[in-house]
């Protein structure tokens, strides 16, 4: 049905009030296969749906009549101050969604002062992106079998003033995305990841297992992490942590933070939703160890809930990509602005005048 | 579709047996935007829906064979006796729903002996309303940035024999109501709030935050409450309390009561449903401290459940507005009558002959 | 749509395999208003639906490889032996559903050896029914304001060899059945309850409450129960007990048993489902005190679950009325037979060869 | 609608990516009655649906960054090594689904090295099947009233190199399958079970119960099990165990293993789902006692969950029969391959490099 997608707009239509509105609109601007790539997730999409449901099921206990003198949304993270806790999650191949791709996203990030985490699978080089000045930048890395290759990219990122590295550890193998396969999604020929190295796999011997003896031998291990932490000039956060024992281990290995994420449900279906395990993580980790929360944020109240359960900041992915697909930099910026303003109103209505006040006492527990 | 709404009726159609029947009928009498204003709520309307679901999910344990000699539904509240525990919640701009607006509501209140809580955003003045004699009257106040303005209104209310003040504390900022925005609801030019003062905000300096440094600086604080309690000639109840710690604080500051409410789901989406937190509130507060319950009452059994879990009385809002929209004073009175009679039958079927008998032993707990 | 209902059949159509099949078929044989009367329940029908859902949600833990020598479904109750634990619940005005009414039901009861509990609101007299010999008979009584009238009926029942009295205590006021009201159900002029006495109410004085000072003054009290138990030549079971404290009280007053029932959801909406409270009742009452379970039985597995959780026997109502509507005595008998055979197969598949073996160890508990 | 089913294919259509895809496709290749037989289950199919839902509701806690040196999916069971933990469940009358029936299944089993459990109700003899060399074979037995008949079949199975006996104990009576009855399924005349003996029942005397005194007297008892274990040259696993007490008893009688199964929901509706009770079983039984899990596996993640909760291996039934119906041996092999590969990817994404690592610490518990 979606045979001729609408072109991206140069303005914001007046009916876009929420991320859900952007989601509907974005579908009109993308072909069916690209939409399946963006919107789909692994398997039966239980994790995708549960990511949203789990947020909705959390009920808030607002407080009132507090003073708002000096109220703000600032956070401190890894020695930096950020004006608000919304980060742009790394999303691959952004030219799929808009011709301006990562450049448009960087412009939106700058406009909203939302740190952008550039994907390893960017269709735009760091050099090109450097033209856009503005928000803080982090760089996301997939391990591709070589310590040297990883470190080289980190040095490049440092050169271009990226402030931190996000190492994604939950995807040694791609997610099996049924919706994408049913839509026969293929990366178009003209969309290329600038930094993707072809993984250098040794040919398999007889009786060797293509997955276990092949691809999985290229995956990062805790020893690689230790080596990388030792050599990297930039702080490194591990993204995709879901098991409390891995969170503990990341902390003990000296990682600079973790990003609790199930990759938007795109890797392993029925993986727990980050917001459900976040509280456990915060309980076992030091109060000031950075824990960012990714997957499922669609509302300002979701951001509040994540912070209340222990997140230092949150990542949003699909929400700004919807905006990007609808109206490039303008749309991406507007979608982030919607979330930011919803979050500010939430803080006002919850009676919290700064991020440090936000804690689990604002969450309703059925037997409290 | 709803382009030409039906005119309000002068009689009660025979098919209106329940509040749900009134809800359906009311939609026929209002244009789509006004309906969105009345029926919609904040965000995705999780709180709105949960308000209803939470009542439905409570199961009753009736008792039988008790004596009903002298049975009645009277309550004592703030030194007054009321014939039943149903109060009419403050609803703004009632001329939106019927040309007679608050006058019709006051007539219905008088007919059913249900105390009316007049909204600060009334389209009818207290002086005009004074023509309708009848039920007890309370006055609801939004804080609009000035202690003096608040006290002036309280004195006016006292002058017109209002018996108590309901200070709404949960709405320092309007709720973000998606349904209303999608329907492009605008207050029509001829609908005006008699007592709304324009909030006197200082122009923002550079770098100041429009919400935190602007509107939120006009919001009431606990200090304002203390001051108001000291100077008010009328008892003051705080409306919109949801956090047990705020309930405790209200009590300690000397408030005369609280109204547990999430504003019918209209302010902050996913705010807990009052009926879910009521039991906790009653446990931590003195047995005779007035706690009224607002949001979600649609049935006589709901009223019983609220009382069983600790409410001193209940507020109903949309139910009587449906009636108002359908048939003015007649419709509002009939809708209240339906609730009142359902509640009486519930008391009979639960084996409780007076309000004091109603307690949590009549509620089923899964592991009891 | 249901303007000309089909006539009742003289045979069993081959597609009727379950009570649900009978339910669908029965609707074709009744006019819409009568269907609303039969199928509808109080209010929003939460209790009606929950009665079914609560059974479905109970999961079974079958055992295997037991010996079935001498297996049977016999029960002992009030000194009598019954071949199986299925009783026919009292249902009013059975000529509404089939011209033969209670006579057809009695024939079905006899054929299946299922004790029939004749409704106080029978359209057939005990004298007429006496022509049908067969199953054990109990008589159900509504209290209608007079001890003498009640006792007179009990003596009549004794005269016609009824073995026990079922006194319904949960309906001092009729249920408010929205579906029935919407369908404008009226008892047809030719359908009359043989034993209904007009309740003799004193005219209300001014200021008296029509419900509390009127109808409720005619309702039975525990003192009436004590008096009746003292004078009745037949054992008396109280029907409609849902509160464990009432169960305890019934036992202490010397009632001969109780029937845990929410009247098929027809009296008080959101009243707890009997199967949910049954286990609690059995825990606080002596092992051999008769507790019958009514409301929600549609399957042989439901009967097993009721017995496992402590029921001495079960009552079925709508299931046999569906059969009655479809094909008179034949249909009623067949519907009971379906339940009976499903129950026998359930016993076989659960590895229980007699009723006494059935207990709560056959029920799955989530944290067991 | 399904009047002329498509013929089975000789190739795999490119759109079949999951078992759910095969399920949809298979329906096109079977007539409506056969589809009802394959897809339907007992009663209202609560157990069937819950089997799937219960797996979906289990959330995973993946770990990352582990080493995958020497990773594999091998298991040890009853002294044998198997390359992976997927067994083909016994399914009766396989010629119903494809002309090649059990032969095609055996070919698929051989291709995927998945042990095949041949059904007692096979339409192909062991002798004929012997032509297909390949995977390990087990033989499934229904008790048909005679110890000698059972032992004879076991000796035959031994002769044809079957390695174990699966004795099904949960079906002394067939399940009452409403969907099948509504579709009027009948075994076609040309489909015959090679090994089915007509059960030799004594004619019932008067007053004897057809089920309890008839069929149930032919059912196996624990004494029969003891006798069979004593005389059988092959290890015997009891299939259909759901009650922990039966699991304990099987262990004490010396059974060589159990298969936790509710027969795919086909015997007793609302019987607990195996995955829900598995953890309890493993807790009370020795760590190395074989417990296989049957019923509800549709995904690689389901296999992982079963192993994590204590299963030694899993059985899949409908999934490969869908494949068989679509494209004979080719389709069955492909459907098993899909499951196997999904399971391997799951292991990779869960960070587990061998089966022994998989345990309940990988499962999310709401209050952990």
Tokens describing residue A176: 């099996």
Q: How far is CA B241 from CA A366, B39, B220, B263, C267, in A?
A: 18, 22, 14, 10, 35
Instruction: Name the residue among D172, D220, D270 with its Cβ closest to that of C348.
Output: D172
Is pLDDT at D3 greater than 80 in this prediction? no
Q: How far is CA A123 from CA A192, B216, C53, C108, C147, in A?
A: 6, 43, 53, 78, 90
Q: Are B39 and B310 in contact (CB under 8 A)?
A: no
pLDDT for position A199: 60
Cβ separation D301–A276 shorter than 8 A: no
Read off the pLDDT of each residue in A18-47 and give the average, rounded to a whole number. 97
Cβ separation D348–A211 shorter than 8 A: yes
pLDDT for position B368: 47
Best of D255, D271, D368 to substitute, by most chain C Cβ atoms within 10 angstroms, is: D271
Distance (Å) from the alpha carbon of A176 to chain B's nearest alpha carbon: 31
Phi, psi of A81, deg, nearest 5: -105, 135
What would the pLDDT profile of C322-334 be if each residue is shown by its tens digit? Answer: 999 999 999 999 9
d(CA D40, CA D56): 20
The region of weakest confidence among A14-28, A313-327, D129-143, D321-335 is: D129-143
CA C11 to chain centre: 26
Instruction: Name the residue among D46, D212, D243 with its Cβ closest to that of C62.
Output: D243
d(CA C109, CA C132): 10
Residue of A nearest to B266 (CA): A349
Distance (Å) from the alpha carbon of B61 to chain C's nearest alpha carbon: 5
Question: What is this model's ipTM?
Answer: 0.96
The residues of A carrying an active-site annotation are 263
Per the document, the length of chain D is 368
Partner chains of C (3+ C-beta pairs under 8 Å): B, D
d(CA D355, CA D336): 18
pLDDT for position C204: 84
Cβ separation D176–C15 shorter than 8 A: no
The residues of D carrying an active-site annotation are 263
The distance between the two most distant Cα atoms of chain C, rounded to a whole number of Å, is 72
d(CA B253, CA B221): 12
Q: What is the DSSP pairing of strand A86-88 with strand A80-82?
A: unpaired
Q: How far is CA D13 from CA D70, D323, D353, in A?
A: 34, 11, 32
CB atoms within 10 A of CB C256: 20
Is pLDDT at C62 greater than 60 in this prediction? yes
Cβ separation C216–B68 shorter than 8 A: yes
Q: Are B189 and B56 in contact (CB under 8 A)?
A: no
Find the distance separating the first CA and the last CA of chain C, reported in whole Å: 50
The distance between the two most distant Cα atoms of chain D, rounded to a whole number of Å, is 72
Instruction: Name the residue among B63, B68, B301 with its Cβ closest to that of C269.
Output: B301
pLDDT for position B266: 97
Instruction: Name the residue among A46, A181, A211 with its Cβ closest to that of D344.
Output: A211
When computed from its CA atoms, the radius of gyration of chain A, rounded to whole angstroms, is 20
pLDDT for position D366: 83
Tokens describing residue A311: 């997140």
B222 burial type by CB count under 10 A (0-12 exposed, 13-18 middle, 19+ buried)? middle
Chain C residues near residue D219 by CB distance under 8 angstroms: 65, 68, 348
pLDDT for position A367: 64
Q: Are B16 and B337 in contact (CB under 8 A)?
A: no
Q: What is the pTM of this model?
A: 0.96
pLDDT for position D368: 47
Residue of B nearest to A362 (CA): B243
Chains C+D touching (3+ CB pairs under 8 Å): yes
Q: How far is CA C206 from CA B114, B315, C213, C214, in A?
A: 20, 29, 11, 12
pLDDT for position A368: 46
Task: Identify the H or E element spanning A291.
Answer: strand A291-294
| Nearest C-alpha neighbor of A52 from the set A265, A360, A340, A332 | A265
Cβ separation C221–B299 shorter than 8 A: no
Cβ separation C213–B71 shorter than 8 A: yes
Q: Are A268 and D349 in contact (CB under 8 A)?
A: yes
d(CA D285, CA D308): 15
CB atoms within 10 A of CB C138: 21
Cβ separation D211–C361 shorter than 8 A: no
Distance (Å) from the alpha carbon of C231 to chain B's nearest alpha carbon: 18
pLDDT for position C368: 47
What would the pLDDT profile of C207-255 be if each residue is shown by its tens digit? Answer: 899 899 999 999 999 999 999 999 999 999 999 999 999 999 999 999 9
Cβ separation D240–C64 shorter than 8 A: yes
pLDDT for position C364: 98
CB atoms within 10 A of CB B252: 9
When computed from its CA atoms, the radius of gyration of chain B, rounded to whole angstroms, is 20
Cβ separation B349–C225 shorter than 8 A: no
Q: Which single residue is written with the structure tokens 């106040």?
A: B141
Best of C25, C54, C59, C83 to substitute, by most chain D Cβ atoms within 10 angstroms, is: C59
Helix, strand, coil percentages for chain A (3-state, nearest 5):
45, 10, 45
Size of interface A-D (CB pairs under 8 A): 106
d(CA A73, CA A343): 9
Name the H helices within B254-356. 274-284, 300-308, 318-350
Read off the pLDDT of each residue in A147-165 and give the average, rounded to a whole number. 97
Is pLDDT at D126 greater than 80 in this prediction? yes
Chain B residues near residue A16 by CB distance under 8 angstroms: none
C367 — pLDDT class (breaks 50, 70, 90): low
Cβ separation A246–D65 shorter than 8 A: yes
CB atoms within 10 A of CB D121: 19
Instruction: Name the residue among D72, D299, D348 with its Cβ closest to that of A43.
Output: D299
CB atoms within 10 A of CB D183: 18
CA B346 to chain centre: 22
What would the pLDDT profile of B266-309 be if each residue is shown by its tens digit? Answer: 999 999 999 999 999 999 998 899 999 999 999 999 999 999 99
Q: Are C225 and C255 in contact (CB under 8 A)?
A: yes
CB atoms within 10 A of CB A331: 31
Residues of A with CB under 8 A from a CB of B: 15, 17-18, 20, 56, 58-69, 71-72, 299, 301, 342, 344-346, 348-350, 353, 361-362, 364, 366, 368
Task: Identify the H or E element spanning D37.
Answer: helix D32-39
Tokens describing residue A17: 């009030």
Chain A residues near residue D361 by CB distance under 8 angstroms: 245
pLDDT for position B270: 98
When computed from its CA atoms, the radius of gyration of chain C, rounded to whole angstroms, is 20
Name the H helices within C57-201. 101-112, 126-129, 147-159, 178-182
What would the pLDDT profile of A352-362 be if each residue is shown by its tens digit? Answer: 999 999 999 99
What would the pLDDT profile of D234-291 be if each residue is shown by its tens digit? Answer: 999 999 999 999 999 999 999 999 999 999 999 999 999 999 999 999 999 988 999 9
Partner chains of B (3+ C-beta pairs under 8 Å): A, C
When computed from its CA atoms, the radius of gyration of chain D, rounded to whole angstroms, is 20
Q: Are D235 and D211 in contact (CB under 8 A)?
A: no
pLDDT for position D204: 84
Cβ separation B216–A15 shorter than 8 A: no
Instruction: Name the residue among D211, D217, D222 with its Cβ closest to that of C344.
Output: D211
Per the document, the length of chain C is 368
Q: Is C350 helix (H, G, I), strand (E, B) or coil?
A: helix
Of C29, C263, C287, C334, catalytic: C263
Q: Which single residue is written with the structure tokens 């009296």?
A: C267
What would the pLDDT profile of B301-342 be if each residue is shown by its tens digit? Answer: 999 999 999 999 999 999 999 999 999 999 999 999 999 999
CA dihedral A62, A63, A69, A71 (to 10 degrees): -20
* DSSP assignment of B118-147: E-TT-SS-HHHHTTS--S-EEEEEE--S-H
Best of C22, C65, C303, C305 to substitute, by most chain D Cβ atoms within 10 angstroms, is: C65
Best of D19, D56, D68, D348 to substitute, by most chain A Cβ atoms within 10 angstroms, is: D68
Cβ separation C169–B64 shorter than 8 A: yes
Is pLDDT at C2 greater than 60 in this prediction? no
d(CA B128, CA A312): 55
pLDDT for position B199: 60
B133 — pLDDT class (breaks 50, 70, 90): confident
Read off the pLDDT of each residue in C256-269 and give the average, rounded to a whole number. 98
Residues of B with CB under 8 A from a CB of C: 15, 17-18, 20, 56, 58-69, 71-72, 299, 301, 342, 344-346, 348-350, 353, 361-362, 364, 366, 368
Please provide the average confidence, as pLDDT, over all residues in chain D.
95
Distance (Å) from the alpha carbon of D119 to chain C's nearest alpha carbon: 20
Helix, strand, coil percentages for chain B (3-state, nearest 5):
45, 10, 45
Tokens describing residue A146: 């070589």
| Nearest C-alpha neighbor of C335 from the set C141, C91, C2, C120 | C91
Best of C66, C308, C349 to substitute, by most chain D Cβ atoms within 10 angstroms, is: C349
Phi, psi of D238, deg, nearest 5: -95, 125
pLDDT for position C201: 64
Residue of D nearest to C65 (CA): D221
What would the pLDDT profile of B172-189 be if each residue is shown by its tens digit? Answer: 988 889 999 999 999 999
For chain D, which domains are there? 6-62+70-194+224-362 (3.20.20.70)
Cβ separation D242–C61 shorter than 8 A: yes
pLDDT for position D200: 61
What would the pLDDT profile of A184-211 be if each residue is shown by its tens digit? Answer: 999 999 999 999 766 666 788 888 998 9
What would the pLDDT profile of C97-108 be if each residue is shown by its tens digit? Answer: 999 999 999 999
Tokens describing residue A315: 């990542």
| Nearest C-alpha neighbor of A185 from the set A169, A174, A196 | A174
Instruction: Name the residue among B171, B221, B240 with its Cβ closest to that of A66.
Output: B221
Q: What is the DSSP pairing of strand C291-294 with strand C257-260?
A: parallel
Residues paired with A77 in a beta bridge: A80
Tokens describing residue C345: 């197969």
Please name the residues in contact with B24: beta carbons below 8 A apart, sequence gap of 6 or more: none
Please provide the average confidence, as pLDDT, over all residues in chain A.
95
The residues of B carrying an active-site annotation are 263
CA D72 to chain centre: 23
Instruction: Name the residue among A60, A68, A361 with its Cβ closest to that of B268.
Output: A60
Cβ separation D63–A246 shorter than 8 A: yes
């Amino acid at each position: 049905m979606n045979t001729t997608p609408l072109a991206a707009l140069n303005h914001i239509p007046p009916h876009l009030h929420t991320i859900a509105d952007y989601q509907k609109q974005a579908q009109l601007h993308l072909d069916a296969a690209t939409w399946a790539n963006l919107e789909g997730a692994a398997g039966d999409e239980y994790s995708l749906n549960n990511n949203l449901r789990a947020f909705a099921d959390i009920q808030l206990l607002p407080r009132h009549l507090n003073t708002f003198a000096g109220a703000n949304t600032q956070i401190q993270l890894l020695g930096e101050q950020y004006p608000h806790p919304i980060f742009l999650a790394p999303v691959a191949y952004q030219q799929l969604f808009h011709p301006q791709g990562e450049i448009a996203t960087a412009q939106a990030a700058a406009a909203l002062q939302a740190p952008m985490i550039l994907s390893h699978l960017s269709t735009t080089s760091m050099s090109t992106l450097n033209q856009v000045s503005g928000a803080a930048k982090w760089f996301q890395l997939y391990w591709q079998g070589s310590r040297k290759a990883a470190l080289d990219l980190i040095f490049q990122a440092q050169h271009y003033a990226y402030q931190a590295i996000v190492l994604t550890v939950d995807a040694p193998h791609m997610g099996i995305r049924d919706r994408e396969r049913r839509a026969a999604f293929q990366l178009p020929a003209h969309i290329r990841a600038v930094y993707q190295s072809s993984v250098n796999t040794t040919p398999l011997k007889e009786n060797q297992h293509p997955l276990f003896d092949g691809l999985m031998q290229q995956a990062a291990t805790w020893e690689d992490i230790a080596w990388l932490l030792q050599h990297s000039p930039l702080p490194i956060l591990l993204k995709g942590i879901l098991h409390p024992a891995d969170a503990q281990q990341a902390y003990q290995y000296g990682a600079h933070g973790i990003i609790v994420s199930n990759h938007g449900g795109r890797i392993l279906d029925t993986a727990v939703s980050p917001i459900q395990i976040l509280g456990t993580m915060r309980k076992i980790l030091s109060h000031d160890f950075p824990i960012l929360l990714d997957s499922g944020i669609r509302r300002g109240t979701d951001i509040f809930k994540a912070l209340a359960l222990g997140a230092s900041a949150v990542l949003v992915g699909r929400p700004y990509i919807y905006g990007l697909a609808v109206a490039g930099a303008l749309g991406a910026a507007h979608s982030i602005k919607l979330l930011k303003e919803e979050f500010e109103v939430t803080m006002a209505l919850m009676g919290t005048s700064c991020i440090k006040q936000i804690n689990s006492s604002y969450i309703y527990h059925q037997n409290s």
